[in-house]
Amino acid sequence: MPDLDVYSEPTVFVLGAAASKPYGFPLGPQLKEEILRFADDHVKNFLGDQQQHAELIPGFKSALGQGDYGSVDYFLERKKRYRELGAFYIVSVIGVREQPNSLFPQRDLYADIFYMLDVESESQDIPPISIVSLNYDRSLEFFLRQNIEYNCSDDREEHARQKIKKLPIVHAHGSLGDIAAVPFGHVVTDATSVREATRRIKIVSDKLEDSDEFKQAQQLIAKAKNIVFLGFGYHPTTLQALLSPAKLETKRVFGTAFQLADNRKSAVLQFFKNRIQLGGNGQGCADFLEHLGIGRRNIPRKKVEPLH
């Protein structure tokens, strides 16, 4: 078992689409199918003063449905005339999927991160952990805040909230919005929120390095001693951009490889020059963290004494 110390060594967790799949969010092929099924009239209502995109909808759906594209990102990279319209559909589909009831009771990866943060201990600080998410949804932020109410001792709730605020969470590709300004699950209830979200999200073919969020993600990765990829697809362009400022020879790198094809696994190992320790083909995010010795099953449940 790897000797991974997240309590004293700066560690960044890089979350891909599969990290949020247990909470109801679609992977690439599912996202494509849900976009194809999404009601066009809803999107037309969201367009506002950008109604010129409405006339592209039939061609957009026909090309997406009939073309040979493994992901919506790749489709929009190839068919740039649909870039803005595609963003409206992505925001709409992901926004509908932001459902609080899909996150609880606590389970899977998010529960592991929650326990790792040790929010009920008397310390005012959290471990040197940071999160870089490649996902647009805000499910982790909502989960961490809400789980305090569900699972922390009454006299520790405010203490835990202050500690949670110290966890850096950066959405490298942008997000549906600041959860304090646009509540979780409410993006698609307001056309203005949808339009603002479409301006924030980025796809792989955009100039990612120009965005503040992507630069912040690069900085967190560059400063970390340990990099842990969870539910990540290892897209070469994204990998290269995220890791370009980092000196990999000074870091320990770990990553899930759930259902990763052998040729993709070989490409990942080659990219990292065999410096990455990959999980098993059937090992999901929570199982992988347990394998690393940092899952919630590895963490002894402590008796919580009242705060003094």
Residue 179 lies in a domain: no
| 3-class secondary-structure state, position 43 | helix
Please tell me whether residues 124 and 61 are part of one structural domain: no
pLDDT higher for 297 or 67? 67
Residue 82 lies in a domain: yes
pLDDT higher for 209 or 5? 5
Among 75, 97, 119, the domain boundary falls at 97
The reported pLDDT for the residue numbered 207 is 79
Please tell me whether residues 52 and 168 are part of one structural domain: no
Tell me the pLDDT band of 127, cut-offs 50, 70 and 90.
very high
Number of domains forming the structure of the chain: 2
Please tell me whether residues 74 and 215 are part of one structural domain: no
Task: Read off the CATH number of the domain in which 216 is found.
Answer: 3.40.50.1220
Residue 76 lies in a domain: yes
The reported pLDDT for the residue numbered 256 is 98
Please tell me whether residues 151 and 288 are part of one structural domain: yes
Residue 148 phi/psi, 5° resolution? Answer: -60, -45
CB neighbours of residue 87 within 10 Å: 24
- In this prediction the pTM is 0.94
Please tell me whether residues 164 and 245 are part of one structural domain: yes
Please tell me whether residues 227 and 83 are part of one structural domain: no
Please tell me whether residues 137 and 280 are part of one structural domain: yes
Residue 142 lies in a domain: yes
Distances (CA, A) of 82 to 30, 75, 199: 19, 9, 14
Mean pLDDT of all residues belonging to the chain = 93
CB neighbours of residue 119 within 10 Å: 24
The reported pLDDT for the residue numbered 304 is 44
Please tell me whether residues 169 and 269 are part of one structural domain: yes
Tell me the pLDDT band of 2, cut-offs 50, 70 and 90.
low
Please tell me whether residues 113 and 81 are part of one structural domain: no
Q: Stretch 178-205: mean pLDDT, rounded? A: 93
pLDDT tens digit sequence for 5-45: 999 999 999 999 999 999 999 998 999 999 999 999 999 99
Residue 221 lies in a domain: yes
Q: Which domain holds residue 280?
A: 11-22+102-174+211-292
Please tell me whether residues 116 and 242 are part of one structural domain: yes
How far is Cα 85 from Cα 46, in angstroms, rounded to an integer? 11
Please tell me whether residues 15 and 44 are part of one structural domain: no
Among 48, 79, 97, the domain boundary falls at 97
Percent of the chain with pLDDT over 90: 87
Query: Helices marked H in 48-102 — which ranges?
Result: 57-66, 72-78, 83-97
Please tell me whether residues 165 and 215 are part of one structural domain: yes
Among 55, 71, 97, the domain boundary falls at 97
Tell me the pLDDT band of 307, cut-offs 50, 70 and 90.
low
Question: Is residue 132 within 8 Å of 221, Cβ to Cβ?
Answer: yes
Judged by average pLDDT, the poorest of 128-137, 152-161, 235-244 is 235-244
Distances (CA, A) of 264 to 91, 111, 208, 229, 291: 29, 29, 23, 15, 22
Residue 6 lies in a domain: no
The reported pLDDT for the residue numbered 218 is 97
